[in-house]
Chain A
Amino acid sequence: MEEPGKMKQESVQVWPEQMGVKRVEVCVQHTLSLIFLCWFVLAGYGQDSKAELVERRDSFYSELQQEGDPKLRVKLQNEYARYCYYTLRIKEGLIAAQQARELSEELGYRPGEAMALQTMAALFWYIPQTHEYFEMEAQRYSEKLTGQDFEYAGIQVPGAAMVFDDLPIDEVEQLLHYFDKYGDTITQAQLATAAARNYFQIGDWGTTRKLLGEAIESYEAYGLVYMQFVLRTYILQTYRMSGNVDAADSIEIAIVESISEKRFEEDRGLITYTLALGYFNTGRYELAIEHFLRNLQQLEQQNQWNFVAESWRLIGIAYESIGRNTNAVDAYREWIRVLDQLENEELLHQAYIRIIFPLIAIHDFNEARYFMDLVRQSQGVDEEGKVYLEASLNDARGQIMLEQEQFNEAIPYFERAWDGFEVVGDQYALPFPPLRLARCYVKSGRFVRAAELARESIALHEKSGNSGSRIPSAANLLLAEAYDSLGEKSVAYDYLRKYKQIEDEVNRADEERRMADAEIRLVLAKSEKLIARLEQDQFRSEQQNKTQKLWIFSITGALLSTLLIIYILYRGNKRKEKTNTILNSQKREIESTLEKLKSTQQQLIHSEKMASLGSLTAGIAHEIQNPLNFVNNFSELNEELASELLDAVQDGDWEEVREISKSIVENENKIKHHGKRAEGIVKSMLQHSRANPDSREPTNLNVLADEYFRLAYHGLRAKDKSFSARMETDFAEDLPDVEVVPQSIGRVLLNLITNAFYAVSERNNLGTDDYFPTVGISSERKSTDQGDYVEIRVADNGNGIQAENLDKIFQPFFSTKPTGEGTGLGLSLSYDIVKAHGGDLKVESERGKGTVFTILIPVININ
């Protein structure tokens, strides 16, 4: 087995200041790799449940013991390894994959080798330092596969091919089709996820969600709960990315609910680990530590020792990052203890290197030297690795001198460290030796040299692209100090100001994070209790405080979003080199998306129409009820009056006869009036649903607005009986008629009013005591340079529209309502309708205050 020298170098991280960011990139890749790794390893098996997966794993194992044919042995070993992966038997899986790899190498059987490497890549996800190496190797082998190998390896290879690079949409779809005939739903799920990733990158959230939804269904059938968890957080991201807060929140609730379900019990350790990693990757070190620590017991009970080791490593880094070096030392000691038990030599010397620096920071130099000795004795490191270790040791020696204020003595060590890092080309480590040297030179009075080095450090730092380190801050401070000592006060002042600026930003971010952390901690504590209780009584789950959960997962969601964004940025960087290829493939993706969009657009427009008709129906029913009540009441009354009339005639009371007759006629008119009123409503409903709108006619928008105001209210009222809102109208009495297609403008009004009611009811549901849901419509005549307009304003006192959504709301398919509640076409169609009338539709909104939509329709001389 080849020694994974490269990634060792990358993970021998000795720079507390730089750790955060670099780790972020590496870990983000791991976490997301899991999403994208799982599918290929999962390729190629039939309809099983999780219990069956275990059974199948064991049966592969026993078959393997009896099989003599070497190629079949390779296949069986690969199969066994993959099933170890599904069932989280990491160690056994790695051994089997390694054996498969060695055997294929002997046989010159490349498909077997590639498969083994892919499986190892997935298994090594659990030990992130080594994961990339195997992924890379797997890619190398996979690229060499010929068509024949492809055939030979059967359906495993296409699935496998996907992990290596983004497969263009059309190819994914071809493959999806290809697997149809096998009925192999798991592979299809993996392909769907691959396709989803493509759509995600072009921002087609709808298709992304659809594909992920399909994948989740398949995983559900297999009981692969962890995959479901990961993909659902992925769906959540699509809503977060598209700013659809409501939908995102409701999915978050669903995710939390599913985590507290019993079926997650087994994987809860892994899930909590993933969450902790998320906190870690976004710099929420304290929360990350809490989660890792809390999770350790569970991981130990499940014998997940690789996770335990990795958790301790990350806890150590997290402690170092927040300056708690004593805790960091303790954590690294635990890490070393577990690695000792696992007999993991490769990771052990990384751990030794790690522990040295916090030890120096707490001035435990003897202990630091002890570990430095251990590093020196490390065996089995390749040449490059040795250079790196030596550079790190020199850096440590320099640090010890620096801490003991032996500045001149420290200088040669840092210089040697610098040389070493240059040889191995470690971009992240490189800025540190010059910075430390600058400190030494300032202390020993050589200010010009110090300033040069500090600037060099900044330059190297900028080149490394490591945006999160403290180098600029420290270097600027040193520069200020150096120039101050040189008597160049104004230059010194400039650097000091720069330093202050950087520090202020960091402090502000820290402050915000601390406040958010405190909130999370509070809700997490509550939620933990809830989960404990749930385990006793699952029925209580419905009574859980939804708001609390929403909070936890809003924050977790935000965190995962950040993670995803970082990942995308990372990908983006990597992709720059391949811009041309990617552009072409994206072009194809976009074209195919466009085709699909076109075909569904018509359908959606139709469904929007039907949806608005639906919301009218309930309102119409109520509006018809009112005139019908009068028809009934007045005709009953007339019946009564008629018999009284007879009595009066018999009595000869002609005064009474005259009065009753007058009433009967009056009532008869009322009956007719209300009958007509009902008829009018039915007519307008028919008009609304008519496919081709009639031509324009002079219309009084006051009347139209009033009509739809009532219809919309009753429509909503029919759906939610507990809802009520104050309705305010302020119609200008002298409003001129305008030339419009009444049913089209009616639809616009209906949309705006329905949205307004929706907004106030959303806010009302938050349950603030002194809130009174209010929707108002007003009209006014406006004179402008371009002529006269009728202005209709629809105002609500709901939550308002988020600023970032304001410019999107008129875009087709944009909706913040949960899936199924809005087509995302209402406002877009409204906009088109108003524009087609030569008018304008505007929106103003303030968070927490409400929203006002303004329709402007030109007054054309219609007389």
Chain B
Amino acid sequence: MKILVVDDERDMELLFRQRFRKEIKGGQHIFFFSFSGEEAISFLNEHPKDADLILSDINMPGMNGFELLTEIRKKHKNPPPTVMMITAYGDHENRSRALELGANDFLTKPVDFELLKEKLEGVPGQN
């Protein structure tokens, strides 16, 4: 599965690469990383087929996760990628806003990778 991780914390890349070391090695998942909403948008415009799943932080400088989600749902419909929001604010308001804007799921930080891996099983579009 092709996964795009969007987070302004650059160490997220290392964390993900190590956490999914085996899956990456085994060719199960391919990870791409963007460090802002804007970067993610240009990635998606250039590689519309390279994200089956988007994991995005909400609170980022510049374009935030909600804006990114709105943009994705507006422009990338064929097929619509699965989007999971990841945020330190696990509150009800954020969760319902994310789901309202069209997120498929919602995770809180610190990321529970076991849970994330379980959730990945359920994501469509896996080859």
Contacts and interface: CB of A to CB of B under 8 A. Distances in A.
7 contacts: A629-B111, A633-B111, A641-B18, A670-B11, A721-B92, A724-B59, A724-B64
B18 A629 contact: no
A727 B15 contact: no
A130 B6 CA distance: 78
B41 interface: no
A632 B62 contact: no
B93 interface: yes
A728 B11 contact: no
A722 B93 contact: yes
A285 interface: no
Interface residues of chain A: helix, strand, loop or mixed (majority): helix
A181 interface: no
Nearest to B88: A625
B66 interface: yes
Given A626-B9, A726-B62, A727-B61, A633 B67 contact: no
A630 interface: yes
Interface string B4-17: 00000101001100
B54 to A, nearest CB: 19
The 9 closest A-B pairs by CB, nearest first: A629-B110, A721-B93, A727-B61, A722-B93, A629-B109, A632-B110, A721-B91, A633-B110, A633-B15
A634 B15 contact: yes
Given A724-B59, A727-B60, A728-B61, 8 more contacts: A626-B9, A629-B109, A630-B11, A633-B19, A633-B111, A674-B11, A722-B93, A726-B67
Interface of A: 622, 625-626, 628-630, 632-634, 637, 641, 663, 666-667, 670, 673-674, 709, 713, 717, 721-722, 724, 726-729, 772
Interface string B60-73: 11111011000000
B88 A626 contact: yes
B104 interface: no
B94 interface: yes
B89 A717 contact: yes
Contacts of B93: 721-722
A627 to B, nearest CB: 9
A8 B35 CA distance: 82
B19 A637 contact: yes
Contacts of B92: 721
Given A721-B94, A728-B61, A729-B61, A670 B88 contact: no
Given A622-B88, A629-B110, A727 B66 contact: no
B62 A667 contact: no
Contacts of A628: 110
Contacts of B18: 637, 641, 663, 667
The CB with the most chain A CB atoms within 10 A, among B18, B62, B109, is that of B18
A644 B42 CA distance: 38
B15 A637 contact: yes
Contacts of B97: 722
A667 B91 CA distance: 30
Contact of A630 (B15, B19, B60, B89): B15
B66 to A, nearest CB: 7
Given A727-B62, A728-B62, A721 B67 contact: no
Contacts, number: 63
A632 B88 CA distance: 14
B66 A724 contact: yes
- Chain B CB count within 10 A is highest, among A633, A634, A666, A667, for A633
Contacts of A717: 59, 89
B107 to A, nearest CB: 12
A674 B88 CA distance: 16
Interface of B: 9, 11, 14-15, 18-19, 21, 58-64, 66-67, 88-89, 91-94, 97, 109-111, 113
B109 A666 contact: no
A363 B113 CA distance: 94
Contacts of A721: 89, 91-94
Contacts of B61: 709, 727-729
A727 B58 CA distance: 12
Given A630-B11, A634-B15, A674-B11, A726 B63 contact: yes
B18 to A, nearest CB: 6
A629 B111 CA distance: 8
B92 to A, nearest CB: 8
Contacts of B111: 629, 633
A666 B14 contact: yes
Nearest to A623: B88
A637 B12 CA distance: 13
Contacts of A722: 93, 97
B94 to A, nearest CB: 7
Nearest to A714: B59
Nearest to A631: B110
A195 to B, nearest CB: 46
A742 B60 CA distance: 25
A717 B19 CA distance: 30
A558 B82 CA distance: 54
Nearest to A722: B93
Contacts of B113: 633
Contacts of B94: 721
Contacts of A729: 61-62
A625 B67 CA distance: 24
A241 B95 CA distance: 44
Nearest to B96: A722
Contacts of B60: 727
A724 to B, nearest CB: 6
Nearest to B65: A724
B57 to A, nearest CB: 10
Contacts of A637: 15, 18-19
Contacts of B67: 726, 772
Contacts of A724: 58-59, 64, 66
A663 B18 CA distance: 8
Nearest to A728: B62
A119 B117 CA distance: 84
Nearest to A634: B15
Which of B11, B63, B111 has the largest count of A CB atoms less than 10 A from its CB? B11
Contacts of A674: 11
A663 B58 CA distance: 28
A724 B89 CA distance: 12
A450 B93 CA distance: 78
Contacts of A726: 62-64, 67
Contacts of A713: 59
A863 to B, nearest CB: 31
Nearest to B60: A727
A728 B97 CA distance: 22
A709 B92 CA distance: 24
A179 to B, nearest CB: 52
The CB with the most chain A CB atoms within 10 A, among B63, B89, B91, is that of: B89
Nearest to B109: A629
Contacts of B62: 726-729
A722 B59 CA distance: 13
A103 to B, nearest CB: 72
A729 B63 CA distance: 11
A630 B15 CA distance: 8
A717 B97 CA distance: 15
Contacts of B11: 630, 670, 673-674
A639 to B, nearest CB: 12
Contacts of B91: 721
Contacts of B58: 724
A736 B93 CA distance: 41
Nearest to B92: A721
A641 B15 CA distance: 12
A628 B88 CA distance: 11
A783 B12 CA distance: 39
B38 to A, nearest CB: 10
Nearest to A628: B110
A670 B109 contact: no
Contacts of B88: 622, 625-626, 629
B69 to A, nearest CB: 12
B64 A670 contact: no
